[in-house]
Amino acid sequence: MAVQYSRGLHEVAEGCWAWFEPPGSWGLSNSGLVKIGAELLVIDTQNDVGRARDLRGAAVEIGGEDAITTVVNTHNDGDHWFGNMFFEDARIIATTAAANAMRTLPIDPRRLAEVGRAGTALQRWSHWRAEIFDYECWRPVFPAETFDGTLKLADGAVTLHEVGPAHTLGDAIVHVPDANVVFSGDILFHRATPIVWAGPVSNYVAACDAVLALEPAVVVPGHGPVATADGVRETRNYLVHLLEHTTRCVAAGVPPEQAYRRFDPGEYRLWPHASRAFQSILAIYAEFRPELVSLSWEESMEIVLADDAS
């Protein structure tokens, strides 16, 4: 079925819905709902108070006030779990690695406007985020239940597969076999440039392969419109291309910033957020030549954001 990429809830298969937040750029993520009997599973809880409240409202309209029994956070990026406070009465699950990373809370969203020095692209970015996301009365609610490897829910009606470290330290995907749907979290940024916070990139490629091995008819990405396996293949191809280029640069002793300036994304050059490649290239250098990586998070994000024309 054709699924419009517009804000709100859209049925993508029998008993499966995607919640979209176009245009899917920084922090504007998707969520999912799966109906299992009379119960509802929520996948990722949105980035802020307003969006989480809207998502909960839409879920209650489908299943009723008591239907939301289980929540899965696919990884530790805030746009996938900051809304947990609206689902506190449910069983909230993440991988052990993701749950541990959440507790470090590298950026407290209530203090977002303080991130970045005056006049920097990072400061413009954090101010933009502080304006469009609402963290008034926000508080962190961490997953109470963790798993490693795989976890079956509702007698196998849903299976969680840990595929990280890839995009982040503890990525998971959610498979609904009867509906032939995978909720991929940020293993897929559909029709946009992926970003590798953790890596290794080879494991991110393997995570794409893990999604493809399930032969899904529908993939709900972490950001962007609904996809099929083709969207996952494109991201896989991009990552392999990036890895090949960067591996050559690593072998030649080229500094990471030059490796980034020389990178041609080829057929993927029109994807938004092309400059995310810099962060991903740094992740590859951190794996093979860590002595060549000297930038702080603020310094590397400054390059990513200053070049981000999207």
Q: Which stretch binds Zn ion (CB under 5 A): 121-129, 218-226, 276-284, 291-299?
A: 218-226
**E-assigned strands of the chain?**
8-13, 16-20, 31-36, 39-43, 68-72, 91-95, 145-147, 150-153, 158-162, 172-176, 181-189, 218-223
68-72/39-43 β-pairing? parallel
172-176/8-13 β-pairing? unpaired
Helix axes 229-251, 201-213, angle to 10 degrees: 160
Q: Give the residue with the Cβ less far from Zn ion, 54 or 186.
A: 186
Give the shortest CB-10-to-Zn ion separation in angstroms. Answer: 18
Q: Print the binding letters for residues 221-240 with Zn ion: x by CB under 5 A, - otherwise.
A: -x------------------
Q: Give the residue with the Cβ less far from Zn ion, 175 or 273.
A: 273
Give the shortest CB-11-to-Zn ion separation in angstroms. Answer: 22
Q: Print the binding letters for residues 178-217 with Zn ion: x by CB under 5 A, - otherwise.
A: --------x-------------------------------
Options 21, 54, 77, 162; binder of Zn ion; rule CB under 5 A: 77
Options 21, 44, 54, 79; binder of Zn ion; rule CB under 5 A: 79
Q: Which stretch binds Zn ion (CB under 5 A): 1-9, 62-70, 102-110, 220-228?
A: 220-228
Give the shortest CB-97-to-Zn ion separation in angstroms. Answer: 16
Q: Which long-range contacts (CB under 8 A, 24 or more apart) does 2-8 make?
A: 3/225, 3/226, 5/224, 5/225, 5/226, 8/54, 8/58
CA–CA–CA angle 189, 191, 194 (5° rounding): 40
Give the shortest CB-178-to-Zn ion separation in angstroms. Answer: 27
